[in-house]
Amino acid sequence: MIIRKFAALAAGAAALTLTAGSAVAEDTVEVLHWWTSGGEASALNVLKEDLEKKGVTWQDMPVAGGGGSEAMTALRARVTAGNAPTAVQMLGFDIIDWASEGAVANLNDVAEEEGWADVVPAALQNFSKYDGNWIASPVNVHSTNWVWINKAALDAAGGKAPETWEELIAVLDKMKENGITPLAHGGQPWQDATVFEAVVLSLGNDFYKAALNDLDPEALGSDKMKEAFDRMTKLRSYVDDNFSGRDWNLASAMVIEGQGGMQMMGDWAKGEFLKAGKKPGEDFVCIRFPGTQGSVTFNSDQFVMFKVGEDKQAAQKMMASAVMNPEFQSAFNVVKGSVPARTDVSDEAFDDCGKKGMKDLAEANEAGALFGSMAHGHGAPAAVKNAINDVVTQHFNGELSSEEAVEELVNAVEAAQ
């Protein structure tokens, strides 16, 4: 676990600075993150408790907000004040942006000694490294094109998990007839965009890559993009009237409690089901968004190490090393709902959804069907992501027709680049 190795290394480093016979000094890491929901907090405790057992003090700096934008605002204030945290949870292009500012530490010595390049997928290394230098430790790989279904609600709707768009609509219609909210959803831009990118991916891998990774104007303004927005309009008809502003974990709770039939959300949602004592296959069903089987949109939480004083650098590198410990990668991701960022971690400890996630990731990577999640900062830089999110949310809220949304999407992306 991160904590064991980090703590052990931290204690050793501290001991070197003391005379023989004296007590080992306590090392400290300050970690800025946004893992504040029940399942996320449980996963983070895997790290915190292990570190504390080894005498390493964890200074928690939680900043609530599922997409991490609030955390990035808090980070900006800290760095501007010349008081950067030890480590910061970060996603995708945000990492690259901070690295380009020269604010991050260099982890090459740890990475090379431990052979990170041999076990971290290339798609993740694109964000773990900058100008050839390791600057972050990837904690996990999340995939975003999941659907989480209440098993009892699915059984009442016919029992067959949908594999196509048409089957999905049939199940949603049946759930609506049965008197529950078919689609549990939180009306926040990043949540709207999570559903949107799954819809886009369901219309073809090439279309997704062209539109949401390559930002091709023709794809963004195409008839197929209008179809994507039309499908979003259809999905909106299955959402309850109180969805606006709802946090994602509250939407998960609706499905867990049977008030909602399904949720379209990344695999961090599984942590909420597990924390509630629910079992995959018995209480809930996990499937890829219909039409995206064989493909994966991913994001990866990474601990980016910032430039700190020399007195803090040993503990910082020990933390980076601990994050990459295979034992920690397994223990953390079993709880978190994600899969390890290392390819050499066994799936033995994972449940059926976890095993599926690891298998899907490996197959998608092999087939060239592993794509950066636009909604979660791995498909396009932040300015473009935010511009797309704004258009998607305006459309989802009925402020734009599908035709208007397509036109506005093209203009918004062009302006943001």
Would you place residue 335 in the very low, low, confident or very high pLDDT band (cuts 50, 70, 90)? confident
Tell me which of 49-63, 106-120, 331-345 is least confident: 49-63
Position 165, amino acid: W
Instruction: Return d(Cα 96, Cα 135) in angstroms, integer.
Output: 10
Cβ neighbours of residue 335 closer than 8 Å, sequence gap 6 or more: 39, 42, 43, 46, 271, 274
Q: How far apart are the first and last CA of the chain?
A: 40
Asked whether 396 and 244 are in contact (CB, 8 A), the reply is no
Q: Compute the mean pLDDT over every residue in the chain, rounded to the nearest whole number.
A: 91
Distance CA 208, CA 54 (A): 46
**pLDDT, tens digit (0-9, with 9 covering 90-100), for 364-381:** 988 999 999 999 999 999
pLDDT at 9: 43
Counting beta carbons within 10 angstroms of the beta carbon of residue 230, is it exposed (0 to 12), middle (13 to 18) or buried (19 or more)? middle
DSSP state letters, 134-170: E-EEE-EEEE--EEEEEHHHHHHTTSPPP-SHHHHHH
Q: Do you know the residue count of the chain? A: 417
| Predicted local confidence at residue 397, as pLDDT | 97
pLDDT cut 70: percent of the chain above it = 93
Name residues whose C-beta falls within 8 Å of residue 330's C-beta, 6 or more positions apart in sequence: 340, 345, 346, 349, 350
pLDDT at 16 over 80: no
When pLDDT is averaged across residues 400-406 and rounded to a whole number, the result is 98
**What is the per-residue pLDDT for 41?**
85
Determine contact, residues 289/79, Cβ cutoff 8 Å: no
Per-residue pLDDT averaged across 6-17, rounded? 40
Domain 2-142+299-354 superfamily per CATH = Periplasmic binding protein-like II (3.40.190.10)
Residue 301 phi/psi, 5-degree rounding, is -75, 130
> Is the confidence at residue 8, as pLDDT, over 60?
no
The pLDDT value recorded for residue 21 is 31
* pLDDT value, residue 68: 83
Looking at residue 73, what is its pLDDT?
92
Distance, CA of 394 to chain centre: 23
Tell me what pLDDT residue 10 has.
Answer: 40
Domain 146-297+363-416 has CATH 1.10.10.10: no
Q: What amino acid occupies position 155?
A: D
Cβ-based neighbours of 53, under 8 Å, separated by 6 or more: 3, 4, 7
* Averaged pLDDT, 269-283: 94
Whether the pLDDT of residue 6 is over 70: the answer is no
Which is more confidently placed, 390 or 67?
Answer: 390
Q: Are 296 and 370 in contact (CB under 8 A)?
A: yes
Taking residues 133-157, report their average pLDDT. 97
Question: Which two three-digit tokens encode residue 406?
Answer: 């397509």
User: CATH 3.40.190.10 occupies which residues in the chain?
Assistant: 2-142+299-354, 146-297+363-416
